[in-house]
Structure 1
C-alpha cells in the first residue's frame, strides 16, 4: 500500500508585503502633497488678499472684520494712475525699469568674465577672491548709507537715476559673480579648448561658447539681480527726490498724514509687483534649470 505525499505550498516570503508597501508609499506621497498645498496657499494668501483688496472701495477695505463679498471696483487703480488728481506713477515706474534693467546688464557684462576667470581659467588664490566677493555682502547696507550720501552730494549726483544704476551694479556684482562661478564650473572645458583651437578669442569664447551653455545660470542670475534692484528702497529713498524717484519710494508716498488708503495702496502694490512677476514667468524654465545646475553630479 503506497501513499502519495504532496508538499504543502509554501508562501513566497514578502509577496504580500509589496502591495502594503505601495499603499504606504501612496499615503505618504498624498500626505506630503497636502502639506505642500497648505504651505503654498499660506505663502500665497497675503498676495491674494492684497489683490482682492485692490478691487474694493476704501470704505469696504477698511472694514473690520474684512468683507470678502464686498462689491468690486477699479477706483483704486484709477486713483493710482492719476485719474483722481494724484501724482502720476509713470516717472517712478520708468526710473525703476531704467535702474533695474541697466544695472542688471552691467552686472552681467562684468560678472561673466570674472566668473570665467574664477571657474574655468582659474587665477591664483581664486578661493580668496571668492571669499572677498562674499565678504562685501556682510556689511549692513545702512552702514554704508552716510558715505554714499556724502559722495553723491559732493559730486552732484543726488537725485540722479544713473547714480542708482552704478550703485545697484556694485551692490549686485558680488552675488552675481558668486552664482555664475558655480554655473560656469559645469561648462565642459573641451568645447572651450576646441573653440580656441579654431582661433576663437576670449570675447568670442564668452559670447558664443560659454554664454549659450550657461544660459540657464545667466538667466537665474539676471532675474535675481533684477529683483534686488527693483525692490531696493533704502538708498533710493535717501538719494532721490523727485526726478529719480523709483516705484518703491512712490509707494511710501501713499502713506500720508491724512491716513492710510488701503485699497489704493494695494492697487499700487499690485501694479509695482507685475514687472517682477512677468520677468519670473518669462524666465521660469531657465530659472529652474539654472538653480538646479550642479545639484546632481
Structure 2
C-alpha cells in the first residue's frame, strides 16, 4: 500500500497563510463591487448617508431612472454602440492577430523578436498624446461621431497585446502537427481554421475577452470623438455627474448595468479564460 508523505507543519502553516491571504485579496476586490450593487438598490438619501445605513430599504428607483422612466435619455443607443464597437473590434483583432502570431511563432520570420517589440513599442505612447492628431484626422475624414471610427481605434489599440498573447499560445503548439497537415495537402487557411484554432481555443478566448473588456471600458477616445450618435456606455455614464450634484444611487445602478456584459462574458468563458491565461506557465 502506497503511503502519502506527511506534510511538515511549517509548510502546512505557510499554505494556510497563503490561502488566507488569497481570500483577503479576493474580498478586497469584491467588497467595492458588492457595495456598488447594494447602493444601487437604495434611495438617494440613504445612499448619501454618512455613516452608511446597511439596513436601508431597497428600491428599484435608481434602475428605473437609468432606463429613462423619469423622462431622462434612453440608455439603449449607448449600450448598442458599445456592444457594436467592442464586438466588431474584437473580431477584427482576432482575425488579424492569429495569422500574425502564427507567422511569428511558427513560420521562420527573420528578426521576429524585433517585430514583437515593435508591436509592444506602440503601447508606450500615452493615449492622450495621440488624441489631438486622431481628432484632426477624424475631422478631416468626416468621421467624428462615427461608431466605425471607434472600431478602427479599438482594434488598433488592442492588436499589439493580442499578437503578444497569441504568440505565446501558438508557440506551445507542436509544429509537427501543422507540418503533418501541410504534408497532407492542407493550405494555410485550412491549417489556421482546422488545426490551429481548435488547439489554441483557450488562448483565443482569453485574448478575445481581454480585447472586449478593453474596448468596452474605453472612455477617453469615445468621450472626445463622439457626440449624440456614436456615444458609448461609459460616456453615457459620465452624464449622471451633473451640475446639480452626484446622484450616487443612480450612478451605482448605471455602473452595475454597464458592467453586466463584461461580467457575463467573463462568466461564460471563465474556463477558457483561466486555461488560456495559464497556458505555457508551467513547462
TM range (shorter): over 0.9
What is the rounded CA distance, in whole Å, between the counterparts of 2:134 and 2:98 in structure 1? Answer: 26
Instruction: Give the drift of 1:55.
Output: 0.4
What is the rounded CA distance, in whole Å, between the counterparts of 1:138 and 1:88 in structure 2? Answer: 37
TM-score by length of structure 2 reads: 0.96
**Corresponding pairs, count:** 280
Structure 2: gaps (5+ residues)? none
**Rg larger in structure:** 1
Aligned to 1:166: 152
1:79 aligns with 2:65: yes
Aligned to 1:97: 83
1:188 aligns with 2:174: yes
1:291 aligns with 2:277: yes
Alpha-carbon RMSD: 1.4
1:231 aligns with 2:217: yes
What is the rounded CA distance, in whole Å, between the counterparts of 1:226 and 1:211 in structure 2? Answer: 19
Listed as ranges, the matches of 1:9-24 within 5 Å are 22-24=8-10
Superposed CA offset, 1:63-92 (max 9, x none): 111111100001000100011111100000
- The equivalent position to 1:108 in structure 2, one of 80, 85, 94, is 94
Superposed CA offset, 1:236-287 (max 9, x none): 0000001000000000011000111000000000000000001111111111
- The equivalent position to 2:187 in structure 1, one of 177, 198, 201, is 201
1:259 aligns with 2:252: no
TM-score by length of structure 1 reads: 0.92
Instruction: Give the drift of 1:19.
Output: 10
Superposed CA offset, 1:120-161 (max 9, x none): 003111111111000000000000000000011011000000
Superposed CA offset, 1:178-235 (max 9, x none): 1101110011111111111111100110011001101111111001000000000000
**Cα 1:19–1:179, aligned 2, differ >3 Å: closer, same or farther?**
closer
Instruction: Give the drift of 1:20.
Output: 8.9
Aligned to 1:178: 164
Secondary structure of 1:43's aligned partner: helix
Superposed CA offset, 1:39-75 (max 9, x none): 2111111111101000000010011111111000010
Aligned to 2:117: 131
Instruction: Give the drift of 1:296.
Output: 1.3
- The equivalent position to 1:275 in structure 2, one of 257, 261, 276, is 261
What is the rounded CA distance, in whole Å, between the counterparts of 1:260 and 1:242 in structure 2? Answer: 22
What is the rounded CA distance, in whole Å, between the counterparts of 2:5 and 2:143 in structure 1? Answer: 71
1:152 aligns with 2:134: no
- The equivalent position to 1:218 in structure 2, one of 204, 207, 228, is 204
- The equivalent position to 2:50 in structure 1, one of 64, 76, 99, is 64
More divergent stretch after superposition (266-275 vs 120-129): 120-129
1:250 aligns with 2:236: yes
